[in-house]
Structure 1
């Protein structure tokens, strides 16, 4: 079977550092942090031990209609915002609905809807539970919302694989298009889990940073003083299509998606395999699927959550793949700015890789004051030019359950 060229023609986002893809990218380059103190009364009422997170810079209620916010869980609200921006950015393609497919991801789904409905049931009785509760809480709610809004009849697929979810959706988009299942795929992910229960749970497992006194500096990948991740929220979307289809409609092309791969550790429910063998296999496969060479990889957007164990495990996997050549590959860890969007993390990071290749500018990793000597990487700490020529970049995502997903992109040329 002939390998088709797959390209990115639209991007959209709502993140802790910007209400759009453009704003998020500009603030990322400026070294902004989306982490800030939580002002909700439940923080004090429930004695939540972590008092900060990376909330969306622009609340969904400021963008969507009142009816949309009432009928959609926040995870679906963010999805709709990002997908609409990406679709408009792609030029609102005129495509056969049966050739338009949505592959969307979430790590948790409608946690706000689920727990609010449970509270309503206990406090006010079953008659007060909203009839839209199940459609709002189901993990495929965001995919359905995007699919209905765009009129996609080629499929509305949902990936739920923790923090690897939306990178897996992007890898799926590549496969869908190669298989001829669609002409365009809208791929992405969203999460809205800044809720007392997930925060309490992540805190109990010692996964979150405890820097309540300095939220902006809390996420610090590769730093010797890193102590956990910062919980984030938001969504990002990519419009992905075959080169033939994009050129036929005169679309602007950001970058090429050259491959994606998914593997699993089968090691531990929350901890990554410290040897990184399965993660390494995903990186190799994502690049080599399209016939590209690992020698061509010249940038890495790392998963890099800022946890003591996770950052080292990913480094071990990277060293397995690239050997001594890793020392000369610029690495960036954008969760330092955005926090960790869980199921939406891979999508926003893939968007950043696409912008990196299109603008030939590598965004910085903030808060790296004391680099960990056990992780000797070329970490980009101020915006750095990517340089001319052909470049391949990979975006890594790893999730609870041992899920590994990697997407590979290339600078576009005719």
Structure 2
């Protein structure tokens, strides 16, 4: 079975329109949330429905993706939803980082790899809500017929389809939708393709275009959103999550293929990290709430360690799912304590990126996996923003909740990231610092 390494990545998040900018702003404690009144489409999109929305509402709105000349034709722009285009744009930058796309004459063509051996695994938690809502309203109030492009725009698998078509990736094409665990599950699907020998390279990603009054009103009715639009993971005053949008893409590759390809390359690509373990479990408990004892999270993390054949004491950092909900944060922390309460020579750093950027729903796991890779690569553990009144913990717990500022620690060799979703879905990924 092949070892699976990472050779490229990029993302668009509320923190920035590239992975580098997002990471820099995360470490700099930048608060990126936007008041709904300041959104450019507030008057037409949100104001008519304010009675259904939280009285104090901020959201994680992404900046405009970097423009790439010639990437989208006029036909593409008519046929594609914004989430398709942002994913293609992000995938291009990840492929460029991996030195897997062509030169100036063929800038969007895969190079250095057999396209029939390139898999595509991209997911989304929610379909294109803006398109569904607008067409439904027009049909109901004006008897207007839908565009022939409606179904291709809202089918969740069309994001993966659009990416594979744009880059001529002819290997397995898969779509996963597991609510807020989608990003991690997309990575797991691509990992299995490469690990099993079905592909040499996998373009794995997740995207979420969730900022719409219908989506926000739905989460508000569930009492999932923060009443004051403040994301406070692991804080005693946490009261719900802040809804955000985003897109992330990672390039997975078999170690043998990457070593051979990069050894013959004249570019600047390199191996950036290794994915060594994957874990999945189901709570089988409740449609929206996790098990309070964190048993599902525990079993997912244990599986990731087991598949990697790594002892819990070797893991130095956990990038927690921690959305800032009262039950969810406590349940995850309980699971982490159970898994990592072993004899350790160093603390277990734990933090959540959602304090800074809110909850990207289905895209969270993908963007947070990029941050986890960067933490290993740069020897820097990001902190949790808005963490002041720390959650009560067992004084013997190995967990060190990182707050106020990042921690520099180049000795961390393994880092785990968790993502959990409605329906009781639990996922964990274990990354290893690359050592040539």
Q: Which category of TM-score, normalised to the shorter sequence, fits these structures?
A: over 0.9
- 1:400 corresponding residue in structure 2: 422
SS at match of 1:227: coil
Work out the CA distance in 2 between the residues paired with 1:172 and 1:206: 32
User: Would you say how many aligned residue pairs link Structure 1 and Structure 2?
Assistant: 405
- 2:361 corresponding residue in structure 1: 342
Work out the CA distance in 1 between the residues paired with 2:332 and 2:308: 23
- Which piece of structure 1 moves more, 105-114 or 238-247? 105-114
- 1:261 corresponding residue in structure 2: 279
Distance 1:15 1:299, change over 3 A: same
- 1:243 corresponding residue in structure 2: 255
Runs of 4+ in 1 over 6 A off after TM superposition: 60-64
- 2:87 corresponding residue in structure 1: 79
- 1:153 corresponding residue in structure 2: 170
What is the deviation of 1:296? 1.1
Work out the CA distance in 2 between the residues paired with 1:325 and 1:145: 48
User: Does the 8 Å contact 1:191/1:235 carry over to 2?
Assistant: yes
User: Does the 8 Å contact 2:53/2:213 carry over to 1?
Assistant: no
Distance 1:108 1:207, change over 3 A: same
Work out the CA distance in 2 between the residues paired with 1:99 and 1:62: 26
> 1:126-275, aligned counterparts within 5 Å?
126-127=144-145, 129-211=146-228, 215=229, 218-250=230-262, 251-275=269-293
Task: Find out whether 1:363 has 2:366 as its counterpart.
Answer: no
What is the deviation of 1:341? 0.8
TM-score (norm 1): 0.93
Work out the CA distance in 1 between the residues paired with 2:291 and 2:215: 24
TM-score (norm 2): 0.89
Work out the CA distance in 2 between the residues paired with 1:144 and 1:351: 23
What is the deviation of 1:110? 1.6
Task: Find out whether 1:110 has 2:107 as its counterpart.
Answer: no
From 329, 332, 338, the equivalent of 2:348 is 329
User: Does the 8 Å contact 1:230/1:340 carry over to 2?
Assistant: yes
What is the deviation of 1:67? 4.7
Work out the CA distance in 1 between the residues paired with 2:75 and 2:232: 39
SS at match of 2:392: coil
Work out the CA distance in 2 between the residues paired with 1:142 and 1:32: 30
- 2:53 corresponding residue in structure 1: 49
- 1:310 corresponding residue in structure 2: 328
What is the deviation of 1:374? 4.2
What is the deviation of 1:29? 1.0
What is the deviation of 1:412? 0.7
User: Does the 8 Å contact 2:65/2:89 carry over to 1?
Assistant: no
Work out the CA distance in 1 between the residues paired with 2:152 and 2:31: 34
What is the deviation of 1:325? 5.5
Distance 1:325 1:219, change over 3 A: farther
SS at match of 2:188: helix
What is the deviation of 1:59? 5.6
- Which piece of structure 1 moves more, 69-78 or 81-90? 69-78
User: Does the 8 Å contact 1:190/1:235 carry over to 2?
Assistant: yes
User: Does the 8 Å contact 2:376/2:410 carry over to 1?
Assistant: no
Work out the CA distance in 2 between the residues paired with 1:184 and 1:313: 36
